[in-house]
Structure 1
Amino acid sequence: MIKAKIHDREKERLALLNSYSILDTLPEKDYDNLTKLAAEICQTPISLITLLDDKRQWFKSHYGLGVSETPIEDAFCAHAITGNDPIFTTEDARKDERFYNNPLVTGDPNIVFYAGIPLKNASGLPLGTLCVIDNKPRKLTESQKESLNILSEQVINLLELRKNKLELERAHKKLKKFSKKLERKVFQRTNQLEIKTIKLELMINDLESFNHICSHDLQEPLRKIQMFISQVSDTEFNNLSDGGKHKLERIDRSAARMRDLIQDLLTYGATETIDNSLTTVSLKKLVLDVKDVLCEELKQYKTVLKIPKDCEITVRPIQFKQLLFNLFTNAIKFTKKEDKPVIKVMGKIVDGADYPEMDLAEDKRYSHIMVSDNGIGFDQKYESKVFEIFQRLHSDEEYQGTGIGLAIVKRIVTTHNGQVRVESSLGNGASFEIFIPLAVKAI
């Protein structure tokens, strides 16, 4: 007896066989029908669908045979899957040096005739065979060979259907597991969103209460303080010592700063509550409106205001004019005394996809507003800090301010679902870029 060779791609072949998850499965009628039909067509008492792993040949269907597997070293099918012939045949195994003393020939089931067609998948790797066996010598006709080949293709079809079904079931389980996981996440996110909504409502209520305190409880005593300071300045100022005069001036400046701080806080809080109607207007028109309000300051500091390029913007006009007002007054405030402030405002319509660094919606269009100045500028590392409330980069002795102006700018942009950034360097002014979603016009 000569043992069959190991297949050239045995490791790959075994991995493929395992992927079908068919070894040691229960009998199935579809496979049994094919072996029965093969035996009847070829007129043999035995027909098998065999699958070969590294130790045995296992029978998915065994027509006319009582066992379900035999050792691989005795298997005729092991020879069949390593050969190049489309059908492996031995007409009389008793006279074949490869099988004459094989236990399956000398003992039960007393194989004499064997014909097997390798069961190959699309890549050409054999999983096993569809074979017919007789205990007497015989030959298959061409018609029988052709029929056996057709039946072997049907075995492969059944195996592929099984594999596809298993993959679908696994995919369904993964999808079901993912769906449950997603459902849990959605539930968690929904709860988190509800909590955030409640917190936001509480914050808005707190903000409204704070605005009420600012507008009434804080301003009233402050007005009295300023009134008394004014009275003392008018009637007693000349009677004070130099130290007293200096202290009174400092009290007056502190009261004025407190008044500005309260007004800025009121403006900051009002950005969420006033002027809720969005309107599409010309950027230039809003700039000119703010210019009229600041006409005295612009004249006083000989400010040059340029609007080289206009565009439409969809905003809450009152809020956006406040934004421009804050940027203009900042530009004037932070210009060196020996320089004339130069403010340039430009606008254009852009696609969100063109600015990936700004995290804009790629399918939306935006009004891109640029406000630049020739002021003292600041180190770029402080970009995020300048937009925070009460954050200042200079002392009162250098430049007056409350540290709220740019926080109001950021808040107004946020309420418009927009983005803002600033580029600056020391001594080279600042350039603010604002992106506001453009209203979609009806066709």
Structure 2
Amino acid sequence: MIKPQLPENESERLEEVKKYNLLDTLPESDFDDIANLIAKVCNVPISLITLLDKDRNFLKAHIGITENESPRALSLCGHAILTDEPIFIVENTREDIRFHDNPIITGNNIGFYAGVPLINPEGYALGTLCVYDHVPRTLTAEQKETLIILSKQVINLFELRYKNIVLNKTLSDLEERHQTLKTFANKISHDLKSPLANITSLSQLFKEELLQENAKTNLEYLNYIEESADTLRAYIDGILKHYKSEALLEKDKKQTTLQDIYNSIKNILGLKSSQFKLVKEAYLKDINSAALTQILLNLVDNGFKYNFKENPVVSIDYSETETHHVFIVEDNGKGIEQEKQDDLFELFNTAHDKDKHGNVGTGIGLFTVKTLVNKLNGAIDIHSEIEKGTQFILSLPK
């Protein structure tokens, strides 16, 4: 018996074998089906899908035998992965000096072997798709071709498995980074709010003292300080609301009414019925009420903040199709220019420079709205006319 030599790239080859996470795994139907098929095509009692580990031959699929591994030093597959030919065939193992006294051959009454190296896209022979028979024989050209074709399908399964491994790791890394960023944003946001409040308070006290000393004192720079603090506070509040909004998606669906949501928004924003109107009542079944409330709250709040008319009015209307709820939030404000509508839901994009209170918009609120809508598998559109008003049409699946 002659033991198989190790490939020149053995250390790199072993790393390639391990990256697929297939060693010591349980049987899988996809691999078993290929092994079973090739056994029938070649009319043999034994077929295997193997992976050559450091000291053993691991049998990922095995038809005709119960063992799931064998010593690599005795493995015919160890010889097969060294060949430069597409298929390694030993027509009579009992007369081949390399195998005639091999315990695997004598113990299992093996007379024939054929194996195709399983070569991955990086060029490494990982193992084999192979067949055994108890008697010396040959394979037809069609059987050889089928063996080679199915070996490529085995490699495709390996690669699909590896891509899933990479994808799962990427998703895990992204989730970890997301949680880290979320924790960081919450920590920094909360830590910044207190100093900002102190800046505003001290600025106001300083202004009061200056005015007491001299009523004509120019307070322009102190006003700039307060305005900057308010703008930064708005960004911080927007960031907090954005991250907290994701928790709303985890809320269970429930039955509610649009009237209840309307009343909730009305109370939160302190609005009057004359300025905030519900056009049509609706019974909402199996809907994420918390997420819907947050979406409509943001839209209604914007409808008032950026409405410069003397008598601002915002309304919520409702309609439905067989498959979707449709909510329409409409205001009588100044409208939004067409060129700004396309990017309105992008992060930090705003339709207006400042709201009616003189505060600079952050562009986080509508980004949060779009994020929630997308994750609810919904859609949101905008229709706006200058000096007439804006409509946001929100569609959510039932």
Please give the range of the TM-score, normalised by the shorter of the 2 chains: 0.5 to 0.7
Matched, 1:437 2:394: no
State the AA in 2 paired with 1:408.
T
Q: Identify the residue that residue 191 of structure 1 maps to in structure 2.
A: 166
Q: Show CA shifts across 1:101-157 (max 9, x none).
A: xxxxxxxxxxxxxxxxxxxxxxxxxxxxxxxxxxxxxxxxxxxxxxxxxxxxxxxxx
Question: Do the aligned residues in 2 keep the contact of 1:343 with 1:374 (CA within 8 Å)?
Answer: no
Q: Identify the residue that residue 185 of structure 2 maps to in structure 1.
A: 210
Inter-partner Cα distance in structure 1 for 2:374 and 2:223: 39
State the AA in 2 paired with 1:209.
F
One of 361, 378, 382 as aligned partner of 2:340 = 382
Q: Identify the residue that residue 197 of structure 2 maps to in structure 1.
A: 223
Q: Identify the residue that residue 282 of structure 2 maps to in structure 1.
A: 310
Root-mean-square deviation (Å): 3.5
Inter-partner Cα distance in structure 2 for 1:320 and 1:420: 12
Structure 1 pair 249/326, CA: closer, same or farther in 2 (3 Å)? same
Structure 1 pair 258/373, CA: closer, same or farther in 2 (3 Å)? same
Q: Identify the residue that residue 55 of structure 1 maps to in structure 2.
A: none
Report the CA distance between 1:390 and its aligned residue.
Answer: 1.4
Q: Identify the residue that residue 329 of structure 1 maps to in structure 2.
A: 301
Structure 1 pair 428/200, CA: closer, same or farther in 2 (3 Å)? farther
Q: Identify the residue that residue 359 of structure 1 maps to in structure 2.
A: none
Q: Identify the residue that residue 348 of structure 1 maps to in structure 2.
A: 320
State the AA in 1 paired with 2:267.
D
Q: Secondary structure at the match of 1:403?
A: coil
Inter-partner Cα distance in structure 1 for 2:276 and 2:302: 14
Q: Show CA shifts across 1:268-306 (max 9, x none).
A: 11112357322322233112211122234x47xx52413
Report the CA distance between 1:314 and its aligned residue.
Answer: 4.0
Q: Identify the residue that residue 32 of structure 2 maps to in structure 1.
A: none
Structure 1 pair 213/429, CA: closer, same or farther in 2 (3 Å)? same
Report the CA distance between 1:235 and its aligned residue.
Answer: 2.5
Question: Do the aligned residues in 2 keep the contact of 1:323 with 1:409 (CA within 8 Å)?
Answer: yes
Question: Do the aligned residues in 2 keep the contact of 1:272 with 1:415 (CA within 8 Å)?
Answer: no
State the AA in 2 paired with 1:379.
E
Aligned identity (percent) is 23
Inter-partner Cα distance in structure 1 for 2:379 and 2:342: 13
Matched, 1:273 2:247: yes
1:105-184 equivalences under 5 Å are: 181=156, 184=159
Q: Secondary structure at the match of 1:249?
A: helix
TM value normalised by structure 2: 0.54
Structure 1 pair 405/314, CA: closer, same or farther in 2 (3 Å)? farther
Report the CA distance between 1:225 and its aligned residue.
Answer: 0.8
Report the CA distance between 1:402 and its aligned residue.
Answer: 2.1
One of 230, 243, 252 as aligned partner of 1:256 = 230
Q: Secondary structure at the match of 2:330?
A: strand
Structure 1 pair 418/275, CA: closer, same or farther in 2 (3 Å)? closer
Structure 1 pair 179/261, CA: closer, same or farther in 2 (3 Å)? same
Inter-partner Cα distance in structure 2 for 1:198 and 1:379: 40
Q: Secondary structure at the match of 1:369?
A: strand
Question: Do the aligned residues in 2 keep the contact of 1:282 with 1:311 (CA within 8 Å)?
Answer: yes
Structure 1 pair 208/314, CA: closer, same or farther in 2 (3 Å)? farther
State the AA in 2 paired with 1:287.
Y
Inter-partner Cα distance in structure 2 for 1:393 and 1:171: 64
Structure 1 pair 313/251, CA: closer, same or farther in 2 (3 Å)? farther
Inter-partner Cα distance in structure 2 for 1:386 and 1:407: 8
Q: Secondary structure at the match of 1:277?
A: coil
Q: Secondary structure at the match of 1:248?
A: helix
Structure 1 pair 175/406, CA: closer, same or farther in 2 (3 Å)? farther
Inter-partner Cα distance in structure 1 for 2:277 and 2:313: 8
Report the CA distance between 1:406 and its aligned residue.
Answer: 0.7
Question: Do the aligned residues in 2 keep the contact of 1:310 with 1:348 (CA within 8 Å)?
Answer: no
Question: Do the aligned residues in 1 keep the contact of 2:258 with 2:281 (CA within 8 Å)?
Answer: no
Q: Secondary structure at the match of 1:308?
A: coil
1:15-164 equivalences under 5 Å are: none
Structure 1 pair 291/251, CA: closer, same or farther in 2 (3 Å)? same
Inter-partner Cα distance in structure 2 for 1:174 and 1:434: 52
Inter-partner Cα distance in structure 1 for 2:396 and 2:326: 7
State the AA in 2 paired with 1:239.
E
Which protein has the larger Cα radius of gyration, Structure 1 or Structure 2?
1
Question: Do the aligned residues in 1 keep the contact of 2:253 with 2:287 (CA within 8 Å)?
Answer: yes
Q: Secondary structure at the match of 2:386?
A: coil
Matched, 1:239 2:245: no
Report the CA distance between 1:222 and its aligned residue.
Answer: 0.9
State the AA in 2 paired with 1:207.
K
How many corresponding residue pairs? 255
Q: Identify the residue that residue 262 of structure 2 maps to in structure 1.
A: 287
Inter-partner Cα distance in structure 2 for 1:172 and 1:237: 93
Report the CA distance between 1:218 and its aligned residue.
Answer: 0.3
Q: Secondary structure at the match of 1:273?
A: helix
Q: Give 5+ residue unaligned stretches, structure 1.
A: 1-166, 352-365, 439-443
**Worse-matched range after superposition: 169-178 or 264-273:** 169-178
Matched, 1:402 2:362: yes
